[in-house]
Amino acid sequence: MLDTHARKYVQPSIEHTAKWFIKRGLTANQVTIIAFIIGISSGILYSIGFPILAVFTLWFSGFLDAVDGTMARLTKPSPFGTLMDITFDRIVEISIILGIAYVHPDLLWPLLLLSISIIISMTIFLTVGAISEKQGIKSFYYQAGMAERSEGFIFFSIMMLFPSFLLWSTLLFFVVELFTGFQRFMEAKKILP
């Protein structure tokens, strides 16, 4: 929801950073890899006892993740770049869930449920993007929903910063992801033949 409706407010800084990287000879794929390395460090940092730094690196990786897409659109988008971007995003999410599970092994079941809801929602999102004839600004049809990347980052931040609410924030994230999957499924029913 935020990625779809609030992006216009942060896009100028994203675009400025993208142009700055391009002037220095970086490619979108290189920035994708940098964002990935920073992103997976978030789960590692959390697991070794640095939750504030983990949240900072998560959001910084997310910013770079937006920058790489803008760089690709300003230069030449590549299907492999899209594949790397989507795959690395999921691995970053997995690293955070694993980091939280390592610190809070008593909450493995809620974290497993959250993982399942993310898999369901992303399966619908990616399948609709792959088979839809609609095209958007991205290299595939982007299905908006209640939980997009920013909402996920907000939930992950709450989960890492407020461990006393971890069970409830994880379960709420699970419900929001399932609802998003349902939203996307119902939209797919309308737009796909």
Per-residue pLDDT at 192:
81
Which residues, other chains included, contact 37 with Cβ-Cβ below 8 Å and sequence gap of 6+? Answer: none
CA-based torsion, 98, 100, 105, 106: positive or negative:
negative
Per-residue pLDDT at 188:
84
Q: Are 60 and 153 within 8 A, CB to CB?
A: no
Q: Are 22 and 74 within 8 A, CB to CB?
A: yes
| pTM for the full predicted model | 0.88
Quickly list H helices, the chain. Answer: 2-5, 7-23, 28-47, 51-74, 79-103, 108-131, 149-161, 166-191
The domain ranges of the chain are 2-191
The length of the chain, given as a count of residues = 193
Per-residue pLDDT at 108:
96
Q: Dihedral of the CA atoms 106, 109, 113, 115 (nearest 10)? A: 60
Query: In tens digits, what is the pLDDT along the chain, a chain of 193 residues?
Result: 666 656 777 888 999 999 999 999 999 999 999 999 999 999 999 999 999 999 999 999 999 999 999 999 999 888 899 899 999 999 999 999 999 999 999 999 999 999 999 999 989 888 887 787 665 555 556 666 777 888 999 999 999 999 999 999 999 999 999 999 999 898 888 888 7
Per-residue pLDDT at 62:
95
For the chain, give the longest Cα–Cα distance: 50
Pick the CATH number of 2-191 from 1.10.1740.10, 3.40.50.2300, 3.40.50.300, 1.20.120.1760: 1.20.120.1760
